[in-house]
Amino acid sequence: MRILYLCHRFPFPPARGGKIRPFNMIRHLSRKHEVVVASLARSPEEAAAGQGIAPHCADYVMGEVRAPAAWARMIARLPTPYPSSMGYFYSPALARSIQERLRREAFDLIFVHCSSVAPYVRQVTGIPKILDFGDIDSEKWLVYRQFKPFPLSLGYWLEGRKLAAAEKALTHQFDFCTCTTRAELEALRRLQVTTPCDWFPNGVDQSYFAPSTKSYDPDAISFVGRMDYFPNQQAMLFFCDEVFPAIRRQRPSATLTIIGAEPSAGIRRLGEREGVTVTGTVPDVREPVRRSAVNVAPLAIARGTQNKILECMAMGVPVVTSPEAAGGVDAVPEEHLLVAQSPQDYADKLLWLMEDAAARQAFAVAGRARVESHHSWAVSLAKLDSIIGACLERHSAGKRCSA
């Protein structure tokens, strides 16, 4: 089978959330099928690194989006019904390349990861098409508005409403739609779509993210995530203002390590506080995470799967997180990870795991086991195979009925 696979970020190297899921799908599908990847790079450096996808697919088509032109397209869409964020991911060169490939080559399936690039093939007919939303982006924009001052909050609300309408319209132009979590699937169904929908989870490289045999620091708390990403910034500002001081009052030796690339000026200033270290980019995030007694993920804005939580659980580091972030992990709160509802709740649960080695070990073992049983790429991608089979059968049945 020949598959045209589109995604919004060039999926190599698979070193961040938006690239991990598509890379694993492409690698899996390429074992039995001929996969042509079409995607976008945001810089010459990303384009050069992206060429590493070559051994994992039959061919690839790359377009570039540069900030000035992308922002201009977003602004041009403000007075229109079309989502501005989708304009950011439009590359005229990539659109021409995709249309040229479709004109001169036969494909048995079009698979799109992320609604932002679905418009490239929305008008294509006669080929089975699957849209993997991953996250329902409209929901994220509507949550963002709660954390932005007016008039920015109005802009986020408007973009969220535009995206919801666009997402609903897109579902009617695909044969099957998927998401990363049950919660995202429920959000998709709230759009009252009629197209068949399902979900399959993200997995974790369990051999790479494995527990350490070295001892941990019982005073150490870690957070891991890109620090140029607003939800991560908001989470750490909240934690350092509302939670960490309470922990330090009871355990003065407690430390917090914020691990992640591109910290903003506000995040870098957190490193000036007593007990807080901001690392920026590190060669290997596993070492500082494994050294910590517990990982914290206090995300008030969290859509889809939080890969950082899965990776910490896989490494045998217990996680204390928010209800919003826990919804993106197929795990049972208070059994495989801890969920906190307030600043004091965060402090109490973190201190408990730091002070009680037996409790920490129990959550370390339970978290790792849950990742092995429910977030295995092998199991997840087997479900993807069944979804593709159902899509192809539905498309074929539709052709028989119309004949």
pLDDT average, residue stretch 368-389: 95
287 contacts: CB under 8 Å, gap ≥ 6: none
Q: State the maximum Cα–Cα separation within the chain, in Å, rounded to a whole number.
A: 75
**Which tens digit of pLDDT belongs to each residue from 321-338?**
999 999 889 999 999 999
- Amino acid identity for residue 347 in this structure: A
Predicted TM-score (pTM) of this structure: 0.89
Measured CA to CA, the distance from residue 186 to residue 176 in angstroms comes to: 15
Lookup: tokens for 383: 């479900």
What pLDDT does residue 395 have? Answer: 82
Average pLDDT, the chain: 93
**Which tens digit of pLDDT belongs to each residue from 73-89?**
888 888 899 999 898 99
Sign of CA dihedral 284, 288, 290, 295: negative
Tell me how far CA of residue 30 lies from CA of 4, 26, 56, 232, 299, in angstroms: 11, 6, 7, 34, 35
176-179 and 197-199 as β-strands: parallel, antiparallel, unpaired?
parallel
What residues pair up with 3 in beta bridges, in sequence order?
35, 109
**Which tens digit of pLDDT belongs to each residue from 261-293?**
999 999 999 999 999 999 999 999 999 999 999
- Amino acid identity for residue 104 in this structure: R
CB 293 within 8 A of CB 354: yes
What residues pair up with 221 in beta bridges, in sequence order?
256, 294
In the chain the domains, ranked by start, together with CATH numbers, are: 2-202+377-402 (3.40.50.2000), 217-374 (3.40.50.2000)
CB 320 within 8 A of CB 349: yes
Of 74-78, 330-334, 367-371, 386-390, which gets the smallest average pLDDT? 74-78
CB 299 within 8 A of CB 269: no
- Amino acid identity for residue 329 in this structure: V
Q: Is the pLDDT of residue 122 over 60?
A: yes
The pLDDT-based confidence of 71 (bands split at 50, 70, 90) is confident
Task: Compare 149 and 247 and report the one with higher pLDDT.
Answer: 247
Nearest Cα residue to 361 out of 311, 291, 293:
293
**Which tens digit of pLDDT belongs to each residue from 131-182?**
999 989 998 889 888 888 888 899 989 999 999 999 999 999 999 999 999 8
What pLDDT does residue 298 have? Answer: 97
What pLDDT does residue 391 have? Answer: 95
The pLDDT-based confidence of 204 (bands split at 50, 70, 90) is very high
What pLDDT does residue 58 have? Answer: 97
Measured CA to CA, the distance from residue 223 to residue 98 in angstroms comes to: 40
What pLDDT does residue 399 have? Answer: 60
What pLDDT does residue 72 have? Answer: 87
Examine residue 13 and say whether the peptide bond preceding it is cis (omega within 30 degrees of 0): yes
pLDDT average, residue stretch 15-43: 94
